[in-house]
Amino acid sequence: MAFVVLFSTMSFTVDMHYCGDTLVDFSLISEAKSCGMDSDSYRKQQPVKSCESSTMSSKSCCTDQQIVKAGKDDLKISFDTLSFEQQTFIAAFTYSYINLFEGTESEELPFVDYPPPFIKRDVQVMHQTFLI
């Protein structure tokens, strides 16, 4: 149950770097590393060969994508936010559940009137097993 609470409250972020349609790098902890083709200095030095068309020389063919999964923060439900019917149900359920564990004080022994069984042979002596 602790793992369910831990994973439902945990949030994480996935960073991905695409060059064209190809996934180059992804990261769960830090920012994804770039392939180097999205910088201005690279575009001035090299003609764009890996991009889908040569007309994209002014724009980068690389894209960054980020997926964010936010966790829950509101785990504690206040008793004040429950309706009157819900409060009545919880009180009645708790009262009836606690009363299930009341003990009985009966000291009745149902086998008092019966004699013990007749032993034909002494089993301990027959098998030579004695408690020390």
Q: What is the pLDDT of residues 2-53, one digit of tens each?
A: 888 787 788 888 899 888 888 888 888 778 787 777 655 454 445 544 554 4
Contact between 60 and 43 (Cβ < 8 Å): yes
Dump the DSSP string for 52-74: S-GGGGSS-SEEEEEEEEPPP--
Per the listing, tokens 């060059």 go with 19
Model pTM?
Answer: 0.39
| Six-digit token string for 66 | 């980020």
